[in-house]
Amino acid sequence: MSSAQSKIILAELLKHLGFDATVEEHALEEGPLLEVKTEDAGRLIGRKGQTLVALQYLTNRLLFQQDQQAPKVLIDVANYRSQARDTLIAKAKEAAEKVRRWGDIVELEPLNAFDRFIVHHALKDDPNVETHSVEVDGTNKKAVLLRPKRL
């Protein structure tokens, strides 16, 4: 029931913003995903995805207000999130390869918690690399540190 609620909320937000869009719902491992189809995808994603972030945040806030038990939803537009996720995993694997070949310690750029989770998750079964999150000065994000696994 609750995901139908989130779909209504998102459709309502989009309509009020003047976007001609349809919303499809998918069930993902991590929770429900609402996929937005619209001609004006670029505008809805925003610079560095910030509009999409704001849209997802507000949808979840409104959903929580209606039903505190409702699972948080993910929102994607034009596969922006799934592509960003693939790029991130590719970057993580590339860094892991560097660690494996040269024994280097590699630090990725500062990422938010959700993106770090993706990196840790992508490398958790790698026999050669271990991953940690470390604080970075000047930002409240942390960076993922990759180093050779000590046997």
> Which residues make up the interface to another protein (CB under 8 A)?
9, 12-13, 16-19, 40, 43-44, 46, 50-51, 53-55, 57-58, 61-62, 65-66
The residue among 50 and 83 lying less far from another protein, judged by its C-beta, is: 50
The residue among 5 and 128 lying less far from another protein, judged by its C-beta, is: 5
Smallest gap from Cβ 83 to another protein, in A, equals 21
The residue among 46 and 71 lying less far from another protein, judged by its C-beta, is: 46
SS3 of residue 33 by DSSP: strand
Smallest gap from Cβ 95 to another protein, in A, equals 31
Smallest gap from Cβ 61 to another protein, in A, equals 6
Smallest gap from Cβ 41 to another protein, in A, equals 12
Residue 50 CA to residue 46 CA, distance in Å, equals 5
Cα angle for residues 127, 131, 136 (degrees, 5° grid): 165
- Rounded (10°) CA dihedral 149, 145, 96, 82: 130
Smallest gap from Cβ 58 to another protein, in A, equals 5
Instruction: Indicate the pairing of strand 74-77 with strand 31-38.
Output: parallel
| Per-residue tokens: 90 | 């590719």
Residue 63 CA to residue 72 CA, distance in Å, equals 8
Q: 6 with 70: CB under 8 angstroms?
A: yes
The residue among 17 and 105 lying less far from another protein, judged by its C-beta, is: 17
The residue among 42 and 103 lying less far from another protein, judged by its C-beta, is: 42
